A and B are shown apart, each in its own frame.
Chain A
Amino acid sequence: MNSVSTASGIEAVEQHVPPKRRRLGTLLIRGATLLLCAIAAVQLLYAMGYLSWGFANWQPVFIAYILWSAAFCSGLVLRDGEAGWRAVFVLPALFFTLALVIFPTFFGFYIAFSDWNLQSAGGRSFNGLDNLRQLIGDPYFWNALGNMVFYVATVTVQYAIAFGLAMLLNAGIKAQKFFRVAFLLPFMLSPVAVSWMIGKSMLEYRFGPVTNLLRELGWSQPTLLTSPWLAKTTIALMDAWVWIPFMMIMILAGLQALPKDVQEAAKVDGATGWQGFWQITFPLMLPVSVTTIVLRVIFQLKLADIVINTTAGGPGGATDTISSYIFRVYKDRSNVGYGTMIAEVYLILIIIFVALLLKFTSRYMQRAV
């Protein structure tokens, strides 16, 4: 075994691998790859009708993939020794991601360009750009997308509240530990439970304690979920109640990591509380804030559970989200092809939006620094 210094200064280890073992490793990798390709090809040809025999489903191909992954990793270790071991630390995660994230995403595109209704007499068929054309002219999609703009915009309000709460908890108030746990409780609850406990019970028009309180306060008909903007706001409030603790805890972690001496120096220089916050704390917190907001926006873009359970997207689509719409298209109408097209297009929109958001915030931070 020889040690070699690399340019980066990290010591790489070269191990001498006997030629016989090297050949065995190569053979294992090639054999497993050949087997996987053969099984996949047979099943593909069978599924396409070119072969009269094949497997009843794609499960054997998946099993072959798992075996191939194991054989590939073993082969690398045999063939490359220490370098093979290093690769094996990463490869399982890569193969896992390939099988459960990347492949389904691309397979999703394959489904998205097909006419596939689970109850259709003819089964699945390729229909080119029809689903995309349908989506472009689909008022329910655009309505839901419009609602998403509103829901995402509320993240800024949630951020402001979360920042305030985090500052409060960071200020050394009494019973700090209790409040930390108490504030986190809504985040620990399932949004489905929240939608039933709050949306269906506490906000219930006839017997809900919240609506009864509103009546006591003089609002004779507290219909929180029947007029479009009010319903949208109510949903946003319920969602905020669940997610503000998540933002708060992220920001609190950032606040606690801030160097105390900078703030103390500002105090000594005569900075007011507001100046200390706006000119010292807030800029220093920008990286944490950006991470928090980006993560929260991603979660927000997937909002569905509370809407499905509380309003089913109504009244008249006022609270609908893209995810709850996909849920209806897929679940109630078994329209797999079109539902998948909406999901794929939405994924692309999210990727573009988040990329732009990151770029914008990174420029903003550079300017701020």
Chain B
Amino acid sequence: MRTDIYNYMLSRRAMLKGAAGAAAMAAVGGPALNVSTAFAQDDLRAAILRIPGVGKGQPTDADWQKVGEMTLGPTKQNVQEGEFKGVELSFMGLNNQNVHNVLFRGLSKAWADYTGATINWIDLAQADYNARLQQSIATGTVDFDVIEMGAPFEGDVCGKGLASEMPDWVAKQIDMDDYVGYLKAPVGTWDGKTYRVSCDGDCHNFNYRSDVFENAALAEEWKKAGGQGDWKAPRTWQDVNAATKFLKGKQIDGQDLYGYLDPAKGWGGFGFYFLGSRATAYVKHPDSKAFLFEQDTMKPMVNNPGWVRAIRDVLDCLPFEPADQLNADPGTTGFQQFLAGTGSMLSWWGDIGSNVNTNDSSVIQGKTAFDILPGSPDVYNHAAGKWETLASGPNYAPNMAYIGWGIYVMARVDSDPKKQKAAWSLAAHLGGKDISLWMAAYPSGFQPYRQSHFNIPEWVGAGYDEKFIANYLASQANSYNHPNAAIEPRIPGIFQYYSEAEDILSSIYAGKMTAQAGADAIAAAWEKRTDQLGRENQIKLYKKSLGM
């Protein structure tokens, strides 16, 4: 039913477009054809962004299928209809929050119908993803042809020759030059070869409740309580903790107020990123790319005074956060707390911004604003072993947590040229320029990652409020382009380090260990892990990932 409505709308739009094109041709002659093509492209982007339209409910499978159908143009330029008939592809990815693979199914239906290929989906929960992938690699049972994978795993997969090298036609089809700077090589490459079609660009940004930090009554109370400076959105982690303590016990619109939300429960290793977001301003010095391990020895930096300060910040804040915070993992803080109106500050991936106005469970429409992660008045210089105050002011270091999802084709398809082309065509379709804009704008698990995603009028055309979207996109762009961005190392076993840390952090947050003792325990566990994984190899790959 819904598809029929779209078809009707599209045919009407196509007719109007045709009329406009004819008028333009009549007015300016031949060259207007090019203008018309450009308009068609813009029109397509505008049309898909109106599916279903911001504020018109969460997209459904019919919407995904329609978007997939409308963005099939680049595929048609490289693939004949029915060219992959008989080809069967296995695609492994996530099914978190009913997005990722769930969404890919709808988006790739038209591709499968056109090319004749069939796709078998292997769905994994976020917490199971790492284990499933590692077991496949270690036991030589790679049973998938295409995988949705984050750049941190490139060392495990591309470094072991398990991925297929990207053909040139794919690079042209997806317009890789359009990627934001930090997603260009070396990300997605290994030993000079390109393996990845990006479909996401990850960074943690700072999400906060504008209604709370613009509230006059709270501003007055803040002043009365002797709060430092004006009542406004925090810009340093010290401000974050001060605001969190202040907000405890306050109310807005009859609802209890809370400040920052720390996820204190592990999430299969992914939870460590959230301590990282608190720590990068303290430990990512502008003079060095390293912030997790020393670059020449892989000696952990996680127990240096900067990281310990970040852990202490969490301990300092937790008593003022919701009472169940010790049992809250990142999924809870993002979707069950912040989007549902609990808490007024949160570090998360860009999903929060794209869900505020498009997720049916969100109650914070029109009450949210964004920025890059808070900074710190001083930064710990690990090499010099001392805290420094920078002449440029507070140190900011956006956390490029996970470096975004990408689509990778496995080397096992290389022996069959037809299958190989089919796999790459599917990857190129899902990582295409136009389809990616739609994914960035609606709940998908993916955030903006192309320069072309930062065209504000396109988002406004979809129904976004201009002030809101300009603010959101700025928080993303400013994180990606930040000169002191903290980019995690793409080394094998990185999630083992994170998982080990999560266990110990859980003990620290529960009061069983001090911050320093816990940080030392994490460092000791990481040292052991590096030895087990092979220190020399880890150092080599670490340096490579740092671009050294």
Footprint of B on A, CB under 8 Å?
Answer: 115, 117-122, 140, 204-206, 221, 223, 225-226, 228, 231, 311-318, 328, 330-335
Contact = CB atoms under 8 A, between A and B. Distances in A.
Contact of B131 (A205, A226, A311, A334): A334
A312 B499 CA distance: 12
Given A226-B326, A328-B503, A122 B534 contact: yes
Contacts of A225: 324, 326-327
B532 A120 contact: yes
A118 B323 contact: no
13 contacts: A119-B493, A121-B492, A140-B503, A311-B327, A312-B506, A315-B509, A316-B326, A317-B506, A331-B128, A331-B130, A333-B529, A334-B493, A335-B532
A226 B269 contact: no
B130 A315 contact: no
B134 interface: yes
Contacts of B492: 119, 121
B484 interface: no
A117 B533 contact: yes
Interface in B517-542: 529, 532-534, 537-538
B534 A121 contact: yes
Interface stretch (B184-192, B243-251, B260-268, B422-430): B260-268
A118 B336 contact: no
Contact of A206 (B340, B500, B537): B340
Given A119-B496, A119-B533, A332 B324 contact: no
A272 to B, nearest CB: 48
A331 B127 CA distance: 9
Contacts of B198: none
Contact of B506 (A117, A205, A316): A316
Contacts of A118: 134-135, 137-139
State the majority secondary structure of interface residues on A.
Answer: loop
A228 B510 CA distance: 8
Contacts of A231: 327
Contacts of B506: 312-317
Given A315-B326, A315-B506, A332 B495 contact: yes
Interface string B313-332: 00000000011111101000
B217 to A, nearest CB: 24
A118 B322 CA distance: 38
A317 B264 CA distance: 12
Nearest to A226: B326
A334 B496 contact: yes
Given A119-B134, A333-B500, A223 B156 contact: no
A330 B532 CA distance: 14
Contacts of B336: 204, 206
Contacts of B529: 117, 333
A315 B264 contact: yes
A223 B324 contact: yes
A225 B510 CA distance: 12
A123 to B, nearest CB: 9
Contacts of B76: none
Nearest to A325: B503
A115 B134 contact: no
Contacts of B264: 314-315
A117 B511 contact: no
Contacts of A206: 324, 336-337, 340, 342
Contacts of A317: 503, 506-507, 510, 512
Contacts of B538: 121
Given A118-B137, A312-B506, A314-B506, 10 more contacts: A119-B493, A206-B342, A226-B324, A312-B329, A313-B506, A314-B264, A315-B509, A318-B510, A331-B128, A332-B131
Nearest to B525: A333
A345 B466 CA distance: 62
Contacts of B326: 225-226, 314-316
B499 A328 contact: yes
A316 B510 contact: yes
A53 to B, nearest CB: 18
A314 B327 contact: yes
Nearest to B540: A121
Which residue, B322, B337, B507, has most C-beta atoms of chain A within 10 A? Answer: B507
B256 to A, nearest CB: 10
B251 to A, nearest CB: 14
A316 B532 CA distance: 26
Contacts of B131: 330-332, 334
